[in-house]
Structure formats: structure tokens, C-alpha cells
Chain A
Amino acid sequence: MPKLKTEEIQVNFGPQHPSMHGVLYLKVTLDGEVITAADPVIGYLHRSMEKIFENRTYAQCIAIIDRADYMSAYFNEMAFVSAVEKLMEVDVPLRAEYLRVILMELNRIQNHALLYGTLGMDLGAVTPVFYGQREREKIFDLFELAAGYRMHPNYFRVGGVKEDVPEEFLTGTAKFCDNFAGWLEEYNTLLTGNEIFRVRTRGVGKIDPTWAINAGITGPLLRASGFKWDLRKNDPYSIYDQFDFEVPVGTQGDAFDAFWIRMAEMEQSLRIVKQALSKLPDGPIKAKVPLNVRPPKGEAYARIESPRGESAVYIVSDGSNKPYRVKVRAPSFLHIGCLPDMLRGQLVADAIALVGVVDIVMGEVDR
């Protein structure tokens, strides 16, 4: 059948649109219902975070970098703190490393639970978001026990963590681990097996691994395309080489695979939390490092596997107590750069599914 050519129209998605996950503004050109071009406009949440760092001490930077990717604050802190630790060549005590891993993996579950809810909601299923929020709330309670704050904990320090966790945190986390497997099953019954959901996501926005690597796609999206790569496994940082977990990989590289990877990752994160809880050693929680650190002159680049992809921090130090330059590599920022190519040729309704599954947090994009 010859392709019917219609008049091209331009549609504005956002910046105020419920499915744009924050303030993403997407100028989409449509030919009928098919997207022919897309131009993402970002910067609505730009707070000049990297410039602010240049005028703050390292301890103050940790509190600010929490607000970059506000859905997974522990990962921002971890990237920043490990870059400074590389600069200063600090050895972090083992208990602090374990506490960091427990909190980060809980944070990953929390982040993916949100994606599960919002992706369902984007595609018309209202119920999942309540299920997702139910578990997130429990994880936030645990964060509050550990750090005193729910979303922006400011808990990691150069050389360790702020303070030891209370006993209730450990018992609460163990209880959460026992219950979560059942909740995950509920998630899968509710959405993963849903016929409409599968039709809406299967075959949408297929990613080819060679293209994905060149375009800078990392994290769950890259794994969905069939490329088995996880920084925790392939280039281990912290103590991730001591845990036994698997890296889920997709086969088709479409939106459903990207979604399914998240569900499988929650399971693996749970495994890591359980192992870390059972092996948690006693001992100091912070190396002998002052709060107001002065790293030697030099630079460091530290990258970690955040729920969204490869998150990295590049620090240039001039020897003073303030960084000379901080660059945050935000995976969402680069994924937005790939959206025009991913959206071209898709139906306009599928754009919602794609933007949802890419999992964008604008705080990290605009910094």
C-alpha cells in the first residue's frame, strides 16, 4: 500500500504535561500520526549546580548534588564522594561500604517502583502507581531511620557515612526484604502480564546495541538492547564484587524489554540487600577524614551504575577546600539526546510509552 502523505503539523509536548515527567518540552513534527522529527528543549530546571559547587566546600556539595537526580539521591552522593575519595586516596571502612550498598540498592528498588507506577499511569493503568508508591513509602521510612531525611538524605561523607544506622533500620530492612518478593509478584500480575500493556510496549522504539553504544545510551536501556553490561559487574566499584547477583538482559530492545529489565533488577537489588544485611560487619563507619576536606591538586573521574545508567562525576581540585570544577555526567541528559532518533517513525501515542520507559528525571538533565 503506498504511504499516504498528509500535511505536517507540529505538536508541543510539555513543558507542562503529565506524561513528560517534569519539565521536558518536546517539539514533535507529525505526518498524520507518525512522528517525523522531534526536538527536545531542556533547561527549564537549570540551577547552575556545577557553578554553585565551585563556590561551596565539599561537604556542602554533597547536600546540593542530592538535588541533581532527586529520585535516586544516594547515587549522586556516591558518585561525588567516590571521586573525592579517589583524589584523596582514602580507604573507606568496610561497614560504611556495606551501609552504602544497602542504601543504594534500596534506592534502586524505590526508583524502579516509581517507574513501574508512572509508566502504567502513562499508558492508562491508574492502579499500578498506588502499588508502587506503597513500597516507596516503606523505603522512605527506612531512609528516614538511617539518614533522618526521606528523599535528600545528605548521608554519605568523604571516607564513610554520616553516622551509624539504628537497630530498627536493620530489622526494618530485613522485614522489607521478606515482604518485597510477594509485592513484586503483585506488580507482575497487575501490569507485566497485562495484555493491553504488552501491546502498547512490545516492538515500540527498538534499540540496536551498536547504535546505542555510539549514542551514549547506558544502564537498563542498553541492557534491554541485548548488550550485557553493568558497571557493578564488569568494572566493579565499592564492594560490588563481593555479591552474587545477575545482570538481566533483554532480547528485542523494545520498550517492554526496558520495562522488564527494571522489574528483574528490583529482584537482583533485593538479593544484594539481603546478602549485605547478612554479611554486615562491625567496625568504624568513617575513615579519619575531616569534614572540611582539602583534596590534593589533581583530578578524578568516578562512575557508578545508577538506576538510569552510567552516572559519573569529574572533579578538578586546585588544593583548596572548594572544587575548581565539577562535571556531572547525567545519563538522562544523554538519553534525551537520543530521543529524536528513537522517536522518528513511531506513532505519536507510542512517544508517551517511550518517554516513560526512558525514565527521565529533569533535575538530573538540567542540573
Chain B
Amino acid sequence: MNPELVDKITRKFPDVAHDISLDYNVFFAPKDDYLRLAEFLKSEPDLAFDHCSDLCGVDYLDYLEVVCHLYSYKLGHHLCLKARVTREEPEIGSLTSLWSTCNFHEREAWDLYGIVFTGHPDLRRILSDDDQPGHPYRKDVPLENDEEWLLRDEKTAEDYGLPLGWERSADA
């Protein structure tokens, strides 16, 4: 991407950090600027990011990150937009109104990482069961079938469809 365009973005949004250590430009947006920056990237004629290639959540233990890869069919440049949210309050604006493809991406990020996208029209679980406890891709979720974690929200084993006495059979 053209360095002048990078300048243009950082001048308009002084709080946005920029990183060029990768082979593409990364912009770290503060939570409040995230939606406005995305809108700017889409609507500005010499940026014209019309394709949202990917959006996902990443868990860095101290915080959660929303990573969004944008591409412009018109101008052929590529950019990565990132925003951080806390684990306690994982809320961020939804990009669905800008790119309708974000609908499924954001539902997936909510399902697997528990990131709440405010303004999303239909934020439901998508890949896991409706009664799945917690958000399974977070790093603090044990990889093995951990009884304590599974039952921490005081549901019984039967609530999760497990057969009676499954704890005992696991010991044997």
C-alpha cells in the first residue's frame, strides 16, 4: 500500500497505531475509533476497501483481539485492521452494516471467543451448540474434558447430555 495513504489514515486518526513489520500494513485502532476507521477505509475513494476478506478473534490471554483483513478490488491493496478488547468487557462495534459478509464472521467470533459485536443484527452461536458452556476457543478453556470447568456454571452433567455416572466411568 502506498505510504501516502498510510499518512492519510494516521493524520485523520492520530490515535491509530501503524505497524509495517509484516508484508502488509497493520493498523491498531482504539476501540472507539474502530468503527469510524473502518467506515473511512470503505468510503474514501483512494482507499476503497470494498472486500472484507476475513475477520476473526485471537486470544492473547491479557486481552482479546479482533483481526480484520481488508482488500480493495478496485485498487488492489491489502490492509489488516486490529482492535483490542478486554476479557472482562469484550464489546466492540459491528462491521455488518459496512460489509454484510461480516455477519457470519462476527457470529463465529462471538461463538468461539465471546466477543460481543454491538449493532450486529443476529448475534447467535453458529458453530457450537446453543447450550455450549463458555466460549471454546479461548486459551483458558482446557483441551481435555475437564470436569471442573464443564460444571462451573452449576449445570449438571445431564444438562449437557452426558450419561449418568460419566465421572465414575472416566476414573475406572
Residues of chain A at the chain B interface (Cβ within 8 Å) = 42-43, 46, 48, 50-51, 55, 86, 213-216, 227, 229, 234-235, 298-301, 303, 310, 312, 314, 316, 324-325, 327, 329, 333-334, 336-338, 366-367
Q: How far is the CA of A50 from the CA of B76 in the complex (A)?
A: 29
Asked whether, in the complex, the Cβ of B22 is within 8 Å of the Cβ of A229, the reply is no
Ordered by A's residue number, 27 sampled pairs between the chains whose C-beta atoms are within 8 Å are A43-B129, A48-B136, A50-B112, A51-B136, A51-B143, A214-B100, A216-B99, A216-B101, A227-B73, A229-B73, A234-B76, A300-B22, A301-B54, A303-B53, A312-B54, A314-B54, A314-B69, A325-B59, A327-B54, A327-B56, A327-B67, A329-B54, A333-B104, A334-B104, A336-B104, A337-B103, A338-B101
Contact status A213-B69, CB under 8 Å: no
In whole Å, how far is A358's beta carbon from the nearest beta carbon of chain B? 14
For chain A, what secondary structure do more than half of its interface residues adopt (helix, strand, loop), or is it mixed? mixed
CA distance A310 to B80 in the complex (A): 17
Q: Which residues of A contact B69 (CB under 8 A)?
A: 301, 312, 314
Measured CB to CB, the closest approach of chain B to A157, in angstroms, equals: 21
Beta-carbon nearest neighbor of A217 in chain B: B101
Q: Which residue of A lies closest to B138 (CB)?
A: A51
The 6 closest A-B pairs by CB, nearest first: A216-B101, A337-B104, A327-B56, A43-B127, A329-B54, A46-B127
Q: A213-B73, A366-B127 are in contact. Are A337 and B101 (CB under 8 A)?
A: yes
Annotate B61-73 by CB proximity to A: 1 below 8 A, 0 otherwise. 0000001010001
> How many angstroms from the CA of A297 to the CA of B59 in the assembled complex?
16
How many B residues are at the interface, by size bracket?
20 to 34
B22 touches A299 (CB 8 A): yes
- Residues of chain B within 8 A of A229, CB atoms compared: 73
**In whole Å, how far is A246's beta carbon from the nearest beta carbon of chain B?**
19
Give the shortest distance, in Å, between A57 (CB) and chain B (any CB). Answer: 15
Chain B hits for A310, CB < 8 A: 53
- Whether A42 contacts B127 by the Cβ 8 Å rule is yes
Cβ of A235 to closest chain B Cβ, rounded Å: 7
Instruction: Name A43's closest neighbour in chain B (CB-CB).
Output: B127
A215 cross-chain contacts in B, Cβ below 8 A: 100-101
Given contacts A43-B126, A213-B51, A216-B51, 17 further A-B contacts (CB under 8 A): A42-B127, A46-B128, A51-B143, A55-B143, A215-B100, A216-B100, A298-B21, A298-B22, A310-B53, A312-B69, A314-B54, A314-B56, A314-B69, A327-B58, A329-B53, A333-B108, A337-B101
Q: How far is the CB of B38 from chain A (nearest CB, A)?
A: 13
Closest to B103 in A: A337
